[in-house]
């Protein structure tokens, strides 16, 4: 989050703080108190939208009464997905809007989306074993492996026109911790457990709380709307 305020889409009365990380949440007689990197705040209610990894890891100090929620989050860990982007420089044999799999027999292979929207880039998607291996070998070696796979498919001449641009590291980013959630075997119901609110004061949103559209951006969005409606209903009945 950036420091500063973004009020263009919000009423003037909304005091939006960006660049502030909650470190502790306490229950008070009137609602909640948040200890953050930018000071302490009190509110009638809070919506927690951090990833299941962040919730389960204890990065945010939560009261003991929320242990069941933290446990539910631990049953919905994040899997691994990463992306590498390569720039195409100069003439190349690549065709826009095409898709190839580096090596279908290799579980760590990259899946390559070539020149999306005609742009001179290649997006390399790494899932599961491929994402874990890229994280352990580091971006330089991961880029080298991607170039190797593309050279095997398109010819060695492509080596000179492929330049590493940027690599994600969702698993290594403390505030995220992975790709998106999956329920451990037998624990699909943990999603509903995590989606419950506590005492009309603490509410939970995020993709991991969606019963069917988990692991997606639209699922995350819908759960945010659901949690906001829950807060409004709780405040109206208070």
Ligand X SMILES: Cc1cc2nc3c(=O)[nH]c(=O)nc-3n(C[C@H](O)[C@H](O)[C@H](O)COP(=O)(O)OP(=O)(O)OC[C@H]3O[C@@H](n4cnc5c(N)ncnc54)[C@H](O)[C@@H]3O)c2cc1C
Integer angstrom CA distances of residue 205 from 15, 48, 196: 21, 6, 9
Euclidean distance between CA atoms 83 and 79, whole angstroms: 14
Q: Contacting ligand X (CB under 6 A), which of 14, 30, 218, 235?
A: 218
Q: For ligand X, which is the closer residue by CB, 120 or 176?
A: 176
Cβ-contact 234, 197 below 8 angstroms? yes
Q: Is 123 in the site for ligand X (CB under 6 A)?
A: no
Q: Is 83 in the site for ligand X (CB under 6 A)?
A: yes
Q: Is 206 in the site for ligand X (CB under 6 A)?
A: yes
Q: Contacting ligand X (CB under 6 A), which of 42, 160, 192, 216?
A: 216
Q: Contacting ligand X (CB under 6 A), which of 18, 65, 89, 217?
A: 217
CB of 220 to ligand X, least distance (A): 3
Q: Is 111 in the site for ligand X (CB under 6 A)?
A: no
CB of 186 to ligand X, least distance (A): 22
The DSSP annotation for 92-142 comes to: -S--TTEEEES-TT-TT--EEEESGGG-SEEEEEEETHHHHHHHHH-HHHH
Query: Cα angle vertex 228, ends 224, 234, to 5°?
Result: 145
CB of 117 to ligand X, least distance (A): 15
The two tokens of residue 212 are 């069917």
Residues that bind ligand X (CB under 6 A): 21-22, 49-51, 54, 59-60, 81, 83, 170, 175-176, 179-180, 206-207, 215-218, 220
């Amino acid at each position: 989050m950036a420091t500063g305020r973004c009020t263009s889409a919000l009423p003037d009365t909304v005091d939006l703080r960006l660049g502030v990380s909650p470190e502790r949440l306490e229950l008070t007689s009137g609602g909640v108190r948040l200890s953050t990197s930018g000071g302490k705040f009190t509110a009638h209610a809070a919506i927690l939208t951090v990833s299941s990894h962040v919730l389960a890891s204890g990065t945010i100090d939560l009261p003991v009464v929320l242990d069941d929620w933290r446990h539910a989050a631990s049953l919905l860990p994040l899997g691994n997905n990463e992306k590498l982007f390569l720039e195409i420089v100069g003439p190349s044999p690549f065709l826009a809007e095409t898709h190839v799999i580096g090596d279908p027999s290799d579980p760590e292979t990259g899946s390559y989306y070539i020149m999306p929207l005609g742009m001179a880039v290649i997006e390399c998607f790494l899932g599961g074993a491929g994402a874990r291996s890229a994280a352990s070998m580091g971006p330089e070696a991961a880029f080298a492996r991607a170039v190797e796979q593309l050279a095997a498919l398109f010819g060695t001449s492509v080596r000179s026109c492929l330049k590493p641009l940027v690599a994600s590291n969702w698993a290594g980013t403390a505030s995220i911790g992975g790709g998106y959630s999956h329920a451990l075997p037998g624990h699909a119901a943990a999603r509903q457990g995590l989606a419950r609110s506590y005492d009309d004061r603490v509410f939970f949103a995020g993709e991991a709380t969606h019963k069917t559209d988990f692991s997606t951006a639209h699922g995350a969005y819908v759960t945010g709307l659901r949690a906001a409606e829950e807060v409004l209903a709780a405040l109206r009945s208070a």
